[in-house]
Amino acid sequence: MHDVVIVGAGPVGLFLACELGLAGCSVLVLEREPEPRTPWKADPLGMRGLSPASVEAFYRRGMLDPLLKASGADDRPDPEEVAPPRGAGHFAGMMLDPADVDVAALPFRLPSPAAEGVMTNLEAVESVLSERASLLGVEVRRGVTVSALVQEDESVVVRAGEQEYAARWVVGCDGGRSAVRKLAGFGFVGTEPQFTGYVALVTVADPGKLRPGFNLTPTGMYLRTPAPGYVGMLEFDGGAFDRSQQPTREHLQAVLRRVSGTDVTLSDVQLASSFTDRAMQTTTYRQGRVLLAGDAAHIHSPLGAQGLNLGIGDALNLGWKLAATVHGHAPDGLLDTYTRERHPLGAQALDWTRAQAAVMRPDPHAQAIQAVIRDLIGTRDGTTYVFGRTSGSSIRHDLGSEQPLVGRNAPELRLEDGTRLGDLMRDGRGVALDFTGDGRLRGPAMVWEGRMRYAAGPARDDLGLGAVLVRPDGVVAWAGDRDPDREAFERAAARWFGGPAV
Ligand SMILES: Cc1cc2nc3c(=O)[nH]c(=O)nc-3n(C[C@H](O)[C@H](O)[C@H](O)COP(=O)(O)OP(=O)(O)OC[C@H]3O[C@@H](n4cnc5c(N)ncnc54)[C@H](O)[C@@H]3O)c2cc1C
C-alpha cells in the first residue's frame, strides 16, 4: 500500500511525484510507455515553452541548473536586475515585441535568477524530473497501463492487466485521454473544436514558397521555425480530420497548400500528428480519493503555450496539500482548496485558447476583430497585458484576502545578507520571512517549525511589508505591513499549516 499512486509519468505526474517524495510520502508512478524517450519528446516536435512561473517552480526546488543544462539554455537573465523579457510570445500568431513589455507594470516583480521563460522540450523536462524523483525514492514502473479503478473507504485500487496496486490516494496525470478521469466518473465539459492542427517533420521540396514564423492566412495558419523540416499548421475544418488516423503526405500537403495559398510540395513526411482546439475541463479535480492534474483535468489547443505550464501549476498546488493530508496534519478542507484554486485558472486558460481560435477564424467578422487586437497588442499596455497572462505574472489565486500580494506567486524577496526566498524553499516547507527589527514572528513561526522555515533580517526591497508567509507552492498566504500583527500571522499559519506542530 503506497501513500499515493500517480498514473502517468509525463511532466505533470513526475513533477507531482517529486513534490510528494520531497514531503516524505511513499509514491509509485505507473506509466504506460515502456521507454521514456520518443522522437515526439525531443526537438523539434517535443519543443515546449516554459513560462517564467514554471521556471521559477524548478528554481525553487533546486532544479534550475539541471533544467537549463538539459534544455541547452545557457543565456541566463541577470539575477540582480528586473529586465524586459527576451521573448514575449504571441497571441493568435500575432507576435509580441518584448521591448514593449512594461516590466514596471507587472505586479511585484523583483530580480530573480528565474525571471525568464525557457524554450525546452519534453525530453529535457522529463529527464530532469525523473532523476530527481529517483533521488527522492519515488518508484516509476513502466509498461503498466491502468485500465480499472475501484475506490474503497480508506484506499483506491488500480488495475493494470493482472496486477493490482493499492494506495491511499490516486492521482490521474495520464494526459488528455485520461483513463483515470473516465474510470472515476469525472464530469468533463466544454466546447467542440473549430479547427484541426498538425505538427510534422517533413521535407519541403520548394521551401522558398513558405514564409518563416507564424503566418496567419485567410484560411488558417502555418508556422515555420528555424528547426529544419518542422511545420505546424491549422485549418478551420470544424475539427473534422479523423484523429484516429495518421495524416498522410498527400493530406498534409493538401492542407498546407490550402492554408498557405501556395502550391508548395512535400516530398517526404517523417513524422506527423494532429490535434484540435476541443476545450474541455473536468467539473472538479477531486472525487473522493481520486484526484486529477494536468491534461487529465483540462484539454485545449496549444495556442499560447499553456498546457504544460498549467499542469506544473496544478502539481505544485496539489503536492504539499496532498502530503499534509497523507501525514494527517492538513487543516480541514485543505485538499479541497486544490480544486477551488486551480479550477478557475484552468477555465481561464481554456478561454485564452478559445479567444485565439475565435480571432483566427477565416471569416470577415473574426478578421475584423483580429485587426483590432493587432492594434491593441501593438501598444505597450496591450503587450504588457498579454505577457502578464502568458508568463504567469498576472496569476492570482483567490484566497479571500484584499491584500494585493496574497494569492500571488511570491516575488523573489531577499534579505540583506543575500538569502533569497528561492534558497529557503528547496526543502518544500513554507517560509515565514520576518523583516521586523525585533524578530517578532520568531516565536510563533517556531511552533510550526516542521512545516515552515523562518528567516529574519532586513530585506533588500521589502515592498512595504514587515513580514510575509509563503506556502510551499510559492503562493503568498499572508503579508503584514511594516508593523505586522502576530495574531494575524498565527491565524494564517493555522489556516494553511494546521494545528501547531509542537
Ligand atoms: C504541438 C503542441 C505544442 C505544445 N506546446 C506547449 C508549450 O509550448 N507550452 C506548454 O505549456 N504546453 C504546450 N503543449 C501542451 C503540453 O505538451 C501538455 O499540456 C503537457 O505535455 C501535459 O502534460 P501531462 O503530464 O499532463 O500529460 P502527458 O504529457 O500527456 O503525459 C501523460 C502520461 O500518462 C501516460 N498514460 C496515459 N494513459 C495511461 C494509462 N492508462 N496508464 C498509465 N499511463 C498512462 C502517457 O503515456 C504519458 O506518459 C503543447 C502541446 C502540443 C500538442
Q: Are 213 and 175 in a shared domain?
A: no
Whole-number Å distance, alpha carbon 435 to ligand 1 midpoint, is 42
For residue 11, the domain's CATH number is 3.50.50.60
- Cα(175) to centroid(ligand 1), Å: 5
| Residue 290 placed within a domain | yes
Ligand 1 proximity of 346 Cβ (cutoff 6 Å): no
Asked, for residue 178, whether it belongs to a domain, the answer is yes
Model confidence over 205-252: pLDDT tens digits? 999 999 999 898 988 999 998 888 999 999 999 988 877 788 999 999
Q: What percent of the chain has pLDDT over 70?
A: 99
Angstrom distance (rounded) from CA 431 to CA 392: 21
The reported pTM is 0.96
Residues 140, 14 share a domain: yes
Please indicate, yes or no, whether residues 287 and 254 belong to a single structural domain of this protein: no
- Spell 41-57 as b/e; 16+ CB within 10 A means b: bebbbbbbbbbbbbbbb
Q: How far apart are CA 318 and CA 37, in angstroms?
A: 27
| Whether residues 72 and 171 fall in one domain | yes
State the pLDDT at residue 75.
Answer: 75
pLDDT tens for 91-143 read: 998 999 999 999 888 888 899 999 899 999 999 999 999 999 999 999 999 99
pLDDT in the model for residue 80: 87
Q: Identify the domain boundary among 260, 276, 292.
A: 276
Final residue in a domain of this structure, among 323, 339, 360: 360
Mean pLDDT of the chain: 94
Q: Is the CB of 11 under 6 A from ligand 1?
A: yes
Closest CA to 266 of 331, 202, 324, 196: 202
Tell the residue nearest (CA) to atom 27 of ligand 1.
175
Residues 55, 123, single domain; the answer is: yes
- On whether both 254 and 332 belong to a single domain, the answer is no
Question: Does residue 440 sit within a domain?
Answer: yes
476-488 residue pLDDT tens: 999 999 999 999 9
Give the domain CATH number at 221.
Answer: 3.30.70.2450
Cis peptide before 362 (omega within 30 of 0): no
pLDDT per residue over 10-66, tens digit each? 999 999 999 999 999 999 999 999 999 999 999 999 999 999 999 999 999 999 999
Task: Average the pLDDT over 188-202 and give the result.
Answer: 96
Q: What is the mean pLDDT of residues 153-181?
A: 96
Where is 91: in which H helix or E strand? strand 90-91
Q: For residue 10, report the distance from its CA to the centre of ligand 1, in Å.
A: 6
Give the CATH number of the domain where residue 452 resides. 3.40.30.120
**Is residue 433 within 6 Å of ligand 1 at its C-beta?**
no
Shared-domain flag, residues 239 and 259: yes
Expressed in angstroms and rounded, the spacing between residue 62 Cα and the centre of ligand 1 is 23
CA atoms in the 13 A half-sphere facing the CB of 483: 0
| Predicted pLDDT at 502 | 53
Report which secondary-structure segment, H or E, holds 356: helix 336-360
**Longest CA pairwise span in the chain (Å):** 74
The number of domains in the chain is 3
Are 470 and 449 in a shared domain?
yes
Question: Does any domain span residue 469?
Answer: yes
Shared domain for 484 and 451, answered yes or no, is: yes
Model confidence at 84, pLDDT cuts 50, 70, 90, reads confident
In b/e form, how buried is each residue of 337-347, taking b as 16+ CB within 10 angstroms? bbbebbbebbe
* 28 Cβ inside 6 Å of ligand 1: no
Say how many C-beta atoms besides its own lie within 10 A of residue 132's C-beta: 21
Residue at 96 is within a domain: no
Q: Give me the numbers of helices (H) and strands (E) for the chain, helices first please.
A: 13, 24
The verdict on residue 410 lying in a domain is no
199: Cβ below 6 Å to ligand 1?
yes
Identify whether residues 257 and 321 lie together within a single domain.
no
Residue 157 lies in a domain: yes
Lookup: cell for 289: 480519493
Name 161's Cβ contacts closer than 8 Å, sequence gap at least 6: 144, 145, 147
Residue 179 to residues 99, 122, 239: CA-CA distances in angstroms? Answer: 44, 21, 23
pLDDT for 501 equals 63
Q: Are residues 261 and 343 in the same domain?
A: no
Answer whether residue 392 is part of any domain: no
For 258-312, write each residue's pLDDT tens digit: 999 999 999 999 999 999 999 999 999 999 999 999 999 999 999 876 899 999 9
Centre of ligand 1 to C-alpha 146, Å, is: 16
The domain of 236 spans 196-276
Whole-number Å distance between alpha carbons of 45 and 38: 10
pLDDT at site 393: 87
Cα–Cα distances in Å, from 424 out to 99, 261, 352, 386?
32, 55, 34, 31
Q: Do 284 and 271 have their domain in common?
A: no
Helix axes 52-60, 64-71, angle to 10 degrees: 130
Domain termination site, one of 276, 306, 321 = 276
